[in-house]
Amino acid sequence: MDPFGSSAPPSGASSGPSAEAMMEQIKTQLAQAYAKEFLETVGSKCFAKCITKPGTSISGSESSCISRCIDRYIEATGIISRSLFSSPH
């Protein structure tokens, strides 16, 4: 994950992009990187749980398993972050 890799700063120092513009761009790229990583993780976790024996198409029960799995994974992420940051520890 390298959110900074593709955007080299332009040469000619004084007329470069403003700090605000750069920060906006970095934020967008970070958000994309976080989303991509999350989607990949959810995909591999739910594939493992729900598609135990891949058939010629995704069955109704598999697809409802996938949607429950996505909801539970998001919920689990919330439980984990709460348990780390809101506990006397």
Partner 1 sequence: MDNSAELQRFLEQEKQKAMVSEMVGKLTSVCWDKCITGTPGSKFSSSESTCLTNCAQRYMDMSMMIMKRFQSMQ
Distance CA 26, CA 48 (A): 33
Among 28, 41, 59, 63, binds partner 1 (CB under 8 A): 41
* Count of chain residues binding partner 1 (CB under 8 A): 32
Residue 50 contacts residue 62 (beta carbons within 8 Å): yes
Distance CA 83, CA 80 (A): 5
Q: How far is CA 28 from the centre of its chain?
A: 13
Q: Is 43 in the site for partner 1 (CB under 8 A)?
A: no
Q: Which residues, numbered 1-40, are part of the site for partner 1 (CB under 8 A)?
A: 18-19, 22-23, 26-27, 30, 34, 37-38
User: 60: which 2 tokens?
Assistant: 């109704």
Kindly list the residues in this chain that would bind partner 1 in the complex (CB under 8 A): 18-19, 22-23, 26-27, 30, 34, 37-38, 41, 45-46, 49-50, 65, 68-69, 71-73, 75-77, 79-84, 87, 89
